[in-house]
Amino acid sequence: MQVESNKVVIIDYTLRNDAGDVLDQSSPEAPLSYLHGHQNIIPGLENALNGKTQGDKVDASIPPAEAYGEYDDNLIQAVPRNMFQGIDEIEPGMQFQAQTGQGVQIVTVKEANEESVTIDANHALAGETLHFNVTVKEVRDASQEELDHGHVHGPGGHEH
Ligand code: ZN
């Protein structure tokens, strides 16, 4: 069975940055399963896996535009300190969920003082070319429920 839209794909993967540092990897007991064609994973990796079958190994280098986007300086902004009411200590590197025009986003604190907090709404991997080594473990049909929900159920998927 080939990887195509509406198939459940189970993969082992290692993700490295340009420097060769491992950013993320699946563990042998917990491979990643996702529903192909439903934006569960980044577009560049979906494209690289299209048409593959069980046992295939795929090495893919994915530019930012097909991963988490280019780094955007406009997504850095200073907001008043009083928007963080109830939080005593705000330090660089802390992350918060923020309601923005594009929905809920994770923002990272870059700087904080008594008047203002500078936050960065870029994805942590924005601007990075991502290098994946992937092994396709299994390709199977999705259940109707999985198709309705747009994601995989069971081990490695959503638990609900
Ligand atoms: Zn579901």
Task: Reply yes or no on whether the pLDDT at 41 is more than 70.
Answer: yes
103 within some domain: yes
- Write the pLDDT tens digit of every residue in 68-124: 999 999 999 999 999 888 999 999 999 998 877 777 888 999 999 999 999 999 998
What is the pTM assigned to this prediction? 0.81
Distance from residue 122's CA to the centre of ligand 1 (Å): 28
Domain that holds residue 140: 7-68+126-149
Give the per-residue pLDDT at 104.
Answer: 83
Task: Identify the residue with better confidence: 11 or 156.
Answer: 11
Same domain membership, residue 78 and residue 58: no
Residue predicted with more confidence, 157 or 83:
83
Distance 6 CA to ligand 1 centre (A): 14
CA of 160 to the centre of ligand 1 (A): 6
Question: Count of H helices and E strands in the chain?
Answer: 2, 9
Distance CA 143, CA 152 (A): 9
| Matching residue, tokens 């299994």 | 138
Same-domain pairing of 62 and 32: yes
Residue 157 lies in a domain: no
pLDDT exceeds 70 at position 1: yes
